Amino acid sequence: MREPYSTAEDPPVPVLVLKVYSPYDDKSLTLTFKVDTGFAGGILVPYDIYLKLELMLAEEPYPLVGRFVTGNTIKLYRAFTKIELENKILYAYVYSSPYIRKKLVGREILNKLKILLDGPQQVLEVLNSSR
């Protein structure tokens, strides 16, 4: 699978297109996520997407604390759900807060994939893996 970098930012940024499911598999959204190796979690979504997928139904009973690069903290909500990348099924945590506007894919998912970032060609390629 090859995904062109997003040119919505300068310089262009690698992205992954993932299908995120609701806890009961009855709803899903296909979204484009910015690849962020500095984010330890699975995926981060804006709160309206979190609510639309009804992830609060599978939410852990206690909120976490998220920390911005600036050092500021916010309350984060977290739910475990199914995520699809083409025909590969993954399970990971989805994080959100009313203050979140970005869609990020972090190391919890990236570490399950074999990825090639071809900066000169501005293409992210998910390579076949026996895992």
CA distances for 97 relative to 1, 55, 73, 118, angstroms: 31, 12, 11, 32
The predicted pLDDT at position 127 comes to: 92
Tokens for 43, please give them: 């995926």
CATH of the domain at 6: 2.40.70.10
Domain span including residue 37: 2-127
What integer pLDDT is reported at residue 129 of this predicted model? 60
* 3-class state of residue 34 by DSSP: strand
Question: Which SS3 state, helix, strand or coil, does residue 115 take?
Answer: strand
Token pair belonging to 108: 């919890």
* 60-93 residue pLDDT tens: 887 788 877 788 888 899 999 999 998 899 999 9
**Number of domains into which the chain is organized:** 1
Burial class (CB in 10 A: 0-12, 13-18, 19+), 102: exposed
Strand partners, 85: 88
Q: Looking at residue 91, what is its pLDDT?
A: 95
State residue 12's pLDDT score. Answer: 96
Ranges under pLDDT 70 in the chain: 129-131
